[in-house]
Amino acid sequence: MKRERPDTRHKERPKVRLHIGDEVEVITGKDASKRGRVTEVLRDEQRVRVSGVAMMTKHQRARGRSRAMQSQTGRIQMPGTIHVSNVQLVCGVCGKRTRPRFEVSDAGKQRLCRLCGADISRQHGEE
């Protein structure tokens, strides 16, 4: 049950600029236009796990060799990972998805919404 193509191996590795807690929107694939929060960032693979997105059901049967595997049976719903190029950050201020721009100031690095100019460095945590 492999839905993801393992062909996205680029030579250059752009940095993953998403963080846990960021709100993102899926821009391509079967979950396109779905939004969710980043729950995990896999920087080496440039993939993220987003709540409620790319859900997959794991069927676990009691056929594992180890006792730990045998005790985990049934169907487990969990979000799969999605490549960072398939999601885009959502600005918490204007609510649109945006490609942020970065500015370095005395306060540190800021992530700014290209559309409304809001600082979305720390958009999570206060709602």
**Residue among 16 and 93 whose Cβ is closer to Zn ion:** 93
**Residue among 64 and 117 whose Cβ is closer to Zn ion:** 117
Q: Considering only CA atoms, which of 37, 57, 35 is closest in space to residue 49?
A: 37
Binding footprint of Zn ion, residue count (CB under 5 A): 7
C-alpha triplet 42, 78, 25: angle, nearest 5°: 60
CA distance 18 to 39: 10
**Residue among 18 and 113 whose Cβ is closer to Zn ion:** 113
Which of 93, 112, 119, 121 is in the footprint of Zn ion by CB under 5 A? 93
**42 binds Zn ion per the rule CB under 5 A:** no
Which of 19, 27, 80, 94 is in the footprint of Zn ion by CB under 5 A? 94
User: Measured from the CB of residue 35, what is the shortest distance to Zn ion in angstroms?
Assistant: 14
User: Measured from the CB of residue 90, what is the shortest distance to Zn ion in angstroms?
Assistant: 9
**91 binds Zn ion per the rule CB under 5 A:** yes
CA distance 43 to 41: 6
Please count the CA atoms within 13 angstroms of the CA of 127 that sit on its side-chain side: 6
Per the CB < 8 A criterion, the answer to whether 53 and 26 are in contact is yes
What residues line the site for Zn ion (CB under 5 A)?
91, 93-94, 113, 115-116, 118
